[in-house]
């Protein structure tokens, strides 16, 4: 008699878009991506505003990096997954090189990727961020 085998949901490709409330730039906006699992690979980042986007592996890393100036590189063990600049007015799309991975460092591990969006352009902006990933662990 055949036996039932559970379907494996990961790895899988996913996309999460977060539309934020309007802000007057320049501004700093916290963001939490909750639909990307606990571990995975970044494939593509898109933002509709000129900005710096920093991704973190935990809330503690997010909090600890708050005072780092933009012209300073993060320490290797700081929990910064990626520090990306999209300098064009209106943002853009950034294809990530292979191997840019993320994994939750929260204890216990949580499905969440913390981000800090530093909007560079002036005027009123309604930020929209999209991450395409390959999720390894939900």
pLDDT tens for 23-54 read 998 999 999 999 999 999 999 999 999 999 99
Locate 38 and state its tokens.
């606990």
Predicted pLDDT of residue 25? 84
Give the C-alpha distances (Å, rounded to integers) separating 39 from 46, 53, 93, 101, 126: 20, 19, 22, 7, 29
**Segment 65-119, tens digit of pLDDT:** 999 998 899 998 999 999 999 988 888 999 999 889 999 998 888 888 999 999 9
pTM assigned to the model: 0.89
Q: In Å, how far from its chain's centre is CA 115? A: 5
CB hemisphere CA count around 27 (13 angstroms): 16
Q: Where are the domains of the chain?
A: 23-137
* Sequence-separated (6 or more) residues with CB below 8 Å from residue 3: none
């Amino acid at each position: 008699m055949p036996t039932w085998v559970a379907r494996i949901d990961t790895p899988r490709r996913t996309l999460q878009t977060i539309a934020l409330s309007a802000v007057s730039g320049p501004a700093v906006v916290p963001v939490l991506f909750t639909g990307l699992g606990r571990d995975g690979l970044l494939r593509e980042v898109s933002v509709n505003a000129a900005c710096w986007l920093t991704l973190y592996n935990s809330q503690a890393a997010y909090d600890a990096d708050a005072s780092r100036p933009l012209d300073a590189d993060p320490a290797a063990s700081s929990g910064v997954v990626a520090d990306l600049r999209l300098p064009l007015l209106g943002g853009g799309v950034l294809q990530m090189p292979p191997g840019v991975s993320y994994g939750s460092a929260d204890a216990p591990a949580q499905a969440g990727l913390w981000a800090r969006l530093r909007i560079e352009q002036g005027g009123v902006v309604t930020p929209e961020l999209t991450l395409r990933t390959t999720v390894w662990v939900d």
